[in-house]
Chain A
Amino acid sequence: MRIALILLSAALAPAPALAVNQVALDNSVFVERVTTDASGKQRVLLEEPKIVVPGDRLVFVLNYRNAGAQAADRFVVTNPMPSAVRFADAGDTRPVVSVDGGQTWGTLDTLTVPLADGTRRPAQPADVTHIRWAFQKPIPAGGAGKLMFRGIVK
């Protein structure tokens, strides 16, 4: 009985001290410009999004840090695509994506998009509506990292 009570109280207990702002997230965007110098070498510059016009390539960078004293588990970063930005790629960060507004998730090659005639076609980067990174291992206290993806201004 006592054991059961303890279990019950544990189940009903309010979450222990919600660590407010334990995880710090920073979201920045750059315009990726490729210039070719006199010798023909290509140079990629990341600029602040000052002049941005349709067709420009954007690099979105998400920096995260576990500022708390405990490890953060089941760490999931979700980023809906802005409606005016077309997803291009996510470098080597290997996220799962959604092409249906966040209903279903998977790597891009596993997803399909319904067509008007009832059939489905393989999903393209332009179909992506959401990006999500789900970490398998906990982020230790003080742990930090960076995620990125590229998009193109529609």
Chain B
Amino acid sequence: MTSKLTYWGTIGVAAASVAAAGPAYAAGTTAGTSITNTATVDYKVGGVSQGQESASNSFTVDRKINLLVEEVGNVTTNVVPGQSNAVTTFQLTNSSNEVLDFALAATQITGGTASHGGTDTFDATNIRIYRDNTASGTVGDWDAGDTLVTYIDELAVDTPIRLFVVADIPAGLANNAVAGVTLRATAREGGTAGTQGLAIAQTTGANTAGKDTVFADIAGVAGDTPRDGSHSDNDDYTLQTATLAVTKTSRVISDPFNNTSNPKLIPGAVVEYCIAVANSGSADATSVVINDPVPGQLTFVTSSILLNGTVTGGTCNANGVAGGSYTNPNVSGTIATVAAGDTRTLVFRATVN
């Protein structure tokens, strides 16, 4: 540039009424918008103002397809065997510069490492996708008011929505078994409410004067490449079940001759049985019912059952709360809860016939 510029400071010029700024969308200017830039020149010749000159150019903003599928809360969903409607939560954001439809697919991962480090070992069943109803029910959590969906209709730009992948868990699985699931969303043409739009293809070859399409999405989970018009994320279910082991021990409490001093197992001796239920799983076991038939050579001591006792260092403490019942020949009792990692006992006494 040859001419020197001067700063005129504040120049009182009738403001061209140009909107200060358009609405600030993070996803950007709506596709198809024409951007026109106009420059004007004012000048004088021989001290006389001359007619204003102006020059313009314009171009059309193309369509950028971008979306994001994200797991909500980076934790596995704990489930129990046989559980119905186990929920994993995702979020879908349309970061394109146009309102679009999104096809949804929830799939199982097969083997390999699941989202939270475990190895995928089983498949959930009856996988469904729900869209959170933000108008009623529990917003943010899956409930009966949420809508079963296969695609998202006319998703506004930059407005994340919450999606739930809901599945049933088979019975008979081991503790800590993992099932990985993937939610994938693929951009489809918007514009017609109530129906899923057509698939979108990227504009290949030469630019057209109109609105072209550019895929700008990032890679999702394994197999989901960048710039393919879709995005995905993983989540997983981890089985939390109780794993129970039962051991039964006995000791002689007294006999009619030695009483409690070094008692021997002679007729008339009192024997104490301890049935210990140990839970080595990850979930509490509740309503644990214990049944033990008393051998025919023994006679149950009435009201001798103690429930919910403890074990210390592998030794039965023979404590607990009176309860249970005896229906010849069965001793039975229910322990309300055997917590994960805990051991609880049923203790009863019988005499040798």
Contact = CB atoms under 8 A, between A and B. Distances in A.
B64 A53 contact: yes
Given A54-B97, A143-B3, A23 B8 contact: no
B43 A153 contact: no
Given A25-B55, A54-B97, A77 B39 contact: yes
B264 interface: no
Interface in A49-104: 49-55, 60, 62, 64, 68, 70-86, 93-96, 100-104
A154 B24 contact: yes
Given A23-B43, A62-B39, A153-B29, A52 B59 contact: yes
Given A21-B53, A73-B47, A96-B8, A50 B3 contact: no
Given A21-B53, A54-B27, A54-B29, A73 B7 contact: no
Interface stretch (B14-22, B182-190, B289-297): B14-22
Contacts of A133: 5
Contact of B28 (A55, A102, A107, A130): A55
A75 B21 CA distance: 27
A23 B29 CA distance: 34
Contacts of A64: 41
Interface stretch (B30-38, B116-124, B309-317, B342-350): B30-38
Contacts of B59: 29, 49, 52
B212 interface: yes
Interface string B82-115: 0000000000000001000000000000000000
Contacts of B10: 104-106
B46 interface: yes
B223 interface: no
Given A72-B50, A107-B7, A153-B35, A27 B56 contact: yes
Contacts of B54: 25
Contacts of A145: 1-3
A16 interface: yes
B57 interface: yes
Nearest to B13: A102
Interface residues of B, number: 62
A146 B216 CA distance: 34
Interface residues of A, number: 71
Interface string B44-68: 1111111101111101111110000
B25 interface: yes
B2 A143 contact: yes
A135 B28 contact: no
B45 A53 contact: no
A81 B60 CA distance: 16
Given A51-B207, A62-B39, A139-B43, A23 B27 contact: no
A110 B57 CA distance: 30
B9 A78 contact: no
Given A135-B3, A139-B3, A145-B1, A22 B61 contact: no
Contact of B53 (A23, A103, A146, A153): A23
A101 B20 CA distance: 6
Nearest to A27: B55
A100 B12 CA distance: 12
Contact of A15 (B6, B33, B35, B49): B49
A121 interface: no
B247 interface: no
Contacts of A83: 18-19, 21-22
B7 A106 contact: yes
Nearest to B51: A18
Contacts of A154: 22, 24-25, 28-29
A105 B56 CA distance: 22
Interface string A136-150: 110100010111000
Nearest 9 interchain pairs by C-beta: A54-B28, A50-B207, A53-B64, A136-B6, A27-B55, A102-B15, A49-B59, A84-B29, A79-B39
27 contacts: A15-B48, A22-B45, A23-B50, A23-B53, A25-B54, A51-B62, A51-B207, A54-B64, A72-B43, A76-B42, A77-B39, A77-B40, A77-B41, A79-B40, A80-B16, A83-B19, A95-B5, A102-B13, A105-B13, A130-B16, A134-B5, A134-B6, A134-B8, A136-B3, A143-B2, A145-B2, A153-B29
Given A50-B207, A53-B214, 9 more contacts: A25-B40, A53-B62, A53-B64, A79-B38, A95-B5, A104-B10, A106-B9, A143-B3, A154-B22
Interface of B: 1-11, 13-22, 24-25, 27-29, 33, 35-51, 53-57, 59-64, 97, 203, 206-207, 212, 214, 216
